[in-house]
Amino acid sequence: MTSSGYLAFSPAQAWHNFWHGEIGAWFLTQGVEIALLVIGALLAARCISWGSRRVTRRLEEGFQTGDNLVRSEASKHRQAVASVISWVAIVLLFVVVAVQVTNVLNVPIGSLVAPAAVLGAALGFGAQKLVQDLLAGFFIITERQYGFGDLVQLNMLGAPEASEGTVEEVTLRVTKLRTAEGEVYTVPNGNIVRSLNMSKDWARAVVDIPVPVTADLNRVNEVLHEVGETSVDDHLLKDLLLDRPSLMGVESIGLDNVNLRMVARTLPGKQFEAGRRLRALVVRALGREGVVTAAGAAPVVDTLPPAAAKPASETKPGAGGER
């Protein structure tokens, strides 16, 4: 009977002794406080991330439902700043929680000064690349070099070719670009040595038009001026252009052709779309004006003046050639 009573009493007594011992008392006091701090930090981090995503989503919805074809510079900057603020807030939150946990554990902060100095020196040498990325990202955002939705070209240290694409995310450490083929580049900000923003405030569409050297350039210029005058009324171009396309004139002269250049100021990031449509209008206008296109040659407008053409009756084929 004593044995069975001992067996029945033993688990309950062990449970009681555990919670009234030193370990149980620590769990009920300091352990619970640490758990609440960690859980509160995780919930706060989730709330910060949710708020940042909500701000970004509202900015995106405002752009999608609005009449603007491109994002404003202020909207791009707000999205980048929202991402950075959420990241910094989460880091600071966990730093504060870590300090509070050390206070709950009664860890003397003064005794950690020397180890922290050694650890900081080691991290300074080992994580200097990370610090470089963070500083570069800070200046990219504060100087508004580029933002969400910008079309940029980034030259990186040690990379043979530049990365070009649309900015999908800018943080203090990295910039993410999506190329025209759908690929995503993740570029550390500290590696960027030169950034080319092709959608800052406005852009310029450049259209080069090659014509043979025998073409009547005066007539070609008249046709291209007419294209520039009527392009602002085109249903696809009128919303992309900021001013009327202008003909710059002869850009270069080669052995077989002459290059004429037209330029047009467009909305940021829309220069390629406007350039494609402008080229189509140029080809259509040249075709209406009687373009003669040889095999593999560029369009020719009035290559031979009417007075220079010889009648067919004056051309006599030789029977056996001249003797």
In a domain, 262, yes or no: yes
Direct distance between the N- and C-terminal alpha carbons of the chain, in angstroms, rounded to an integer: 144
The whole-number average pLDDT for the span 150-165 is: 86
In a domain, 263, yes or no: yes
Query: Contacts from 180-189 at CB under 8 Å and sequence distance 24+?
Result: 187/154, 187/156, 187/163, 188/129, 188/133, 189/133, 189/134, 189/136, 189/137, 189/140
Q: What is the pLDDT of residue 307?
A: 42
Q: CATH code at 274?
A: 3.30.70.100
Count how many domains the chain has. 1
Q: What is the pLDDT of residue 55?
A: 77
pLDDT at residue 278 above 80?
yes
- Structural domain of residue 214, as residue ranges? 203-304
Q: What are phi and psi of 101, to 5 degrees?
A: -65, -40
In a domain, 32, yes or no: no
Of 205, 182, 220, 200, residue with least CA distance to 276: 205
pLDDT at residue 270 above 70?
yes
Does residue 248 or residue 322 have the better pLDDT?
248
In a domain, 221, yes or no: yes
Q: What is the pLDDT of residue 292?
A: 46
* Interatomic CA distance for residues 182 and 170, integer angstroms: 18
Lowest mean pLDDT, pick from 53-57, 97-101, 141-145, 258-262: 53-57
Express each pLDDT in 246-257 by its tens digit: 888 888 887 778
Q: What is the pLDDT of residue 62?
A: 65
Q: What is the pLDDT of residue 15?
A: 66
Q: What is the pLDDT of residue 37?
A: 84
Q: What are phi and psi of 171, to 5 degrees?
A: -120, 180
In a domain, 244, yes or no: yes
Express each pLDDT in 53-108 by its tens digit: 787 777 666 655 555 555 666 666 677 777 778 888 888 888 888 888 888 777 77
Confidence of residue 145 (pLDDT cuts 50, 70, 90): confident
In a domain, 216, yes or no: yes
In a domain, 188, yes or no: no
In a domain, 285, yes or no: yes
